Structures are given as C-alpha cells and as structure tokens.
Amino acid sequence: MTAGWVLPILLSAAPQPIPTRPEELRFDELRFDVPDPARYRHELPNGIEVYVAPDSTFPLVSLRVQLRQGSYLEPENKVGLAGLTGSLIRAGGTENFDPARFDEEVEFRAAAISAFGGDSRAGANLDCITPVLDQAMDLFFEMLRHPRFDETRLEVEKENLLEAMRQRNDDPGDILGREWDWLLEGETFYRSRRMTKDHLDAIAREDLVRFHEKYWRPENMVVTVSGDVDPAKILAKLDSYLLDWPGEGVHADWPPPQPTHEPHPGAYHVEKDIPQGTVVLGHLVPRWTDWESPERAALQIMDHILGGGGFTSRITKRIRSDEGLAYDASSSFGFDALGPGSFTVSFQSKNDTVALATDIALEEIERIRTEPASDEEIAIAKASLIETFPRRFESAAQIAGTYAGDAFIGRSHEYWKNWRDQVRAVTADDVLRVARKYLKPDAIVFLVVGKWEEIAPGDAGGRASMKDLFGGEVTHLPLRDPLTLKVIP
C-alpha cells in the first residue's frame, strides 16, 4: 500500500487525546496592548526627537540617527554625492583620528559604526556592548560632527564605486532594477537616476564637505536608542553631543520632489543570454499620506490575497505551486509616504514559460478586480495581519524603530492604536473596491531580462506566447554602457 510505511504507532499513554485536526486545538487568549508611545518619545531642547527604549536583558546598545535629506539635494551633474558623503563620513576619518586610526579605535572596541546617504534618508548607526558605550559614542558623534573626508580614502572609495559600476550588467536583477526605475520614473528623477563615471569624476572633496555642512545637521535628525541604557542619562549625553552643534540651523527641503515622468504602459525587454527570464510588472500608485484611511487596511488584505501572503496567496499558488513555473512569485502593493509607491508582481521563470506565468499574473490581477474574494481568503489574511502585529513591538529596538519611523515620515503614533480594528472591519466589498480603484491593468508596464528568442514563442504546449500579451508588441531596450549609461551601439 502506498503509504503504509507511515502508519502512526501510538506508544505513549497520552494524558489527553490528540485532536484529529489542528482546528480542534484551543488556545488561551494572548492579550497585546500597543505600548504607549509617550513612554518612549523625548525631545531635546533644540527640538530633536529622540526615542529611547531601555532593555537591560543583554549588555548591548543600539543607536540610530536618521536624517531627513538625501540624493534629491545633490546637483544634477554630481549624482552620487549624497551617497558618497555618507560613506566618507564613516571611511574618511575625523578631526582627531586619521581614517586608519578611527577604524582601529572602533574595531578594537568591537563596536560597529556605519553611515549612509540614501535617496530620501541619510543616517548613521552604532552597535556596541554597554561597557564601551561612552567611548563608542564619543567616536560616533565626532564622526558625525567633524568628519575629515580624507583625500586618499575618497580616492579609494571612488575607485571602488567605479568597480561597482563595471558590474552593472552582470546580474540580471541589477539590469531589471535599473530599467524598471527608469520606465516608471524616468532617467533623471532623483530616486531613479544612476551615477556615471562623469558624475564621479566631477565630485571633489569640497563637495562632500559642503553637503555635510548643509544637510548632516541636528535640525534634520530623528534619534533612536535601544538596549541597556538609562533614559535620563542617555538623554543628557545626547544633549552634550547635539546641543552645541555650531552654525545656523537649516531644515532640508522636505518632503522630496515628486516625479513628472509619465510611464508608457506595455512590454519591454532587455536581452541577456540566461536560461531564465526575470520579470517585474506593475505600475505606480499614489503617494500615501492619509494613514487614517480605511483603504490602507483593505489594500493590505487585497495584497495578502493576491500575492503578498506566501503560499496562501493566489499568484504564488498558481505560478509556483500549481504550475511549477517559478521558485519565487509574489506581488507587493507598496505604500510610500514620500513619493509614489508601486504595485508590482515579480517572478523568475525559464525563458519559454515567461509568457505563461505572465498570463496567469495578469489573469489574477483582473480576477481580484472583478470577483469578490472568498470569506476564507479574507479570514486568513485578517488573522495573519492581526496575529503577527505584536511582532512590530516585540523588542526594545523594534518599539523604538517603529515610533521613530512614524516621526520620520510625519505619521501620528495613534495610527498603531486603531490598526487592528481597521483590519477587522474590512469586508470583501472593501477589497473589491480598493482593487478596482488602485490596480490599473491598462497602466501595466511589463519588463523582462532574458533571452528573447526563447521568451517570445512561449511554451511548447502552446498555452501562452508573448504574441497574445500587451497587443503582441514589445520594446527592446538596449543594454547600457556600465560606466556612461549611454546606449551600447
């Protein structure tokens, strides 16, 4: 008999019978109240918001500084300046320590210190054991306030960036990410544009010094401290580092500018000789600022059902589990507080089944817009979102991080108090309504990196071909020179 080898053998004298199905198990109620944000939020005399979550379980401390600024503030001919400033703040030494000495001071204490400059967020992090906290904080704030921007280290960093650029066409995922950003937001928008060798050559030490002076300032900061600290003491220490920061206080323009590029729906392809096409399809969705809106919870449930909920979601189930067309297949509805978000479906499938997997994804997008989701699907999505909710607040670092995240984007902490009730209130009609309102089949941009000769005809079974999708038309995007980003002729 097929499975006779796994017949259960009951040996132990069970004190209670084991239920035949997991649904018969009964669980105690697990109460969870959202921690009171007022207990964690502080404000320094100069207005800097500080979130402190003490936890002395282990002798470990984490300090995070986030700044409301980013690459949107850099000149157009110096793309990459914000990022380079961030990395040189860490790598370029400080007033008192040359770069090698600074590295040595940090690593000898087994501390981890980093700094970065991103598109719409810059920041620096410190992680260390409590006994070295004072010395590590001295190093950390000296780095933030008095970076040396050592010329030699700048050259090393620039050379390394150049090497990173050379690899731009090596990994299909990198090509996909770049072209996708350009298709959606154009090649010149701050968060889609890419650095070229010309930009890199144009950036001099003086540019970094100025960028730091202007934008790495207390006025733009949100600070988070979690771990083995006494809140009163740590606040007094932060005062001592941050209150006498010299110079005029200037707030960076905030929020960053919005894109003006109009995406052109349709199919796009970049040629790469690999056995598997890597695909993203979707469109922009509006910038999200109304965090009280019940549409947010409805969209999260919609996303969970469509492709964001792992094996319980439709796109993963059909493309991976039913058809075996991909290892990863999922969707994501992205909420972005600072600019447009995006709705995307992503998967990788062997070249000749790209069309079939795409067909299924489009079918599922259409279905969630036209048919109400089942009660079971809604129930699973709700239960998952509600039951996993406490995990956002499980550790001191997570509590501090969650509330600091609110402060950074200007969202009220009250948002979390109502969140589970908003999820509970969502109905199948709500899901259908937001899917119709926010998913736009006519706006879909499809991008694949792979071997077109195999992708175009589709699978041998004749179940789908690229001819049947997007009006049978495709735009072949040329590969770009990795250093200039000019079209390779």
Q: Taking CB under 8 A as the criterion, which residues in 378-417 touch another protein?
A: 379-380, 383-384, 386-388, 390-391, 394-395
CB 155, min distance to another protein, A: 9
CB atoms < 10 A from the CB of 177, how many?
17
Asked if 125 interacts with another protein (CB under 8 A), we say no
Identify residues 207-236 at the interface with another protein (CB under 8 A): none
Encoded amino acid at 478, one letter: P
Nearest residue (CB) to another protein, 67 versus 354: 354
Helix axes 205-215, 151-166, angle to 10 degrees: 100
CB 277, min distance to another protein, A: 9
Asked if 274 interacts with another protein (CB under 8 A), we say yes
Helix axes 375-388, 414-425, angle to 10 degrees: 160
Angle at 407 between CA 284 and CA 53, to 5 degrees: 130
Phi (first) and psi of residue 112, to 5 degrees: -120, 120
Asked if 428 interacts with another protein (CB under 8 A), we say no
What's the CA gap between 4 and 133, in Å, rounded? 61
Q: Cβ neighbours of residue 363 under 8 Å, at least 6 residues apart?
A: none
CB 383, min distance to another protein, A: 5
CB 255, min distance to another protein, A: 31
What's the CA gap between 213 and 145, in Å, rounded? 9
Identify residues 171-200 at the interface with another protein (CB under 8 A): 171-172
Interface pick for another protein out of 36, 47, 95, 108 (rule CB under 8 A): 108
| For residue 457, cis peptide bond before it (omega within 30 degrees of 0) | no
Nearest residue (CB) to another protein, 138 versus 219: 138
Identify residues 336-365 at the interface with another protein (CB under 8 A): 348-350
Nearest residue (CB) to another protein, 217 versus 451: 451
Closest CA to 410 of 336, 334, 335, 337: 337
Q: Which residue has the tokens 């129930």?
A: 379
Candidate segments 101-109, 247-255, 289-297, 425-433, binder of another protein by CB under 8 A: 101-109
Asked if 487 interacts with another protein (CB under 8 A), we say no
Alpha carbon separation from 364 to 259, 344, 359, 371, 477 (Å, rounded):
29, 13, 9, 10, 27
Interface pick for another protein out of 43, 95, 159, 414 (rule CB under 8 A): 159
- Altogether, the residues listed in the chain come to a count of 489
Encoded amino acid at 175, one letter: I
Interface pick for another protein out of 38, 45, 57, 290 (rule CB under 8 A): 57
Nearest residue (CB) to another protein, 21 versus 76: 21
Beta bridge pairs of residue 268:
447, 475
The DSSP-derived string for 360-412 is HHHHHHHHHHHSPPPHHHHHHHHHHHHHHGGGGGSSHHHHHHHHHHHHHHT--
Asked if 418 interacts with another protein (CB under 8 A), we say no
Identify residues 275-304 at the interface with another protein (CB under 8 A): 275-276, 278
Nearest residue (CB) to another protein, 209 versus 386: 386
Nearest residue (CB) to another protein, 47 versus 173: 173
Identify residues 64-93 at the interface with another protein (CB under 8 A): 91
Interface pick for another protein out of 311, 442, 462, 489 (rule CB under 8 A): 311
What's the CA gap between 232 and 209, in Å, rounded? 33
Asked if 131 interacts with another protein (CB under 8 A), we say yes
Asked if 44 interacts with another protein (CB under 8 A), we say no
CB 268, min distance to another protein, A: 19
Alpha carbon separation from 488 to 174, 479, 483, 484 (Å, rounded):
17, 6, 11, 10
* Per-residue interface string for the shown chain with another protein, residues 442-471, x marking contact by CB under 8 A: ------------------x-----------
Interface pick for another protein out of 75, 77, 95, 110 (rule CB under 8 A): 110
Asked if 43 interacts with another protein (CB under 8 A), we say no
Asked if 424 interacts with another protein (CB under 8 A), we say no
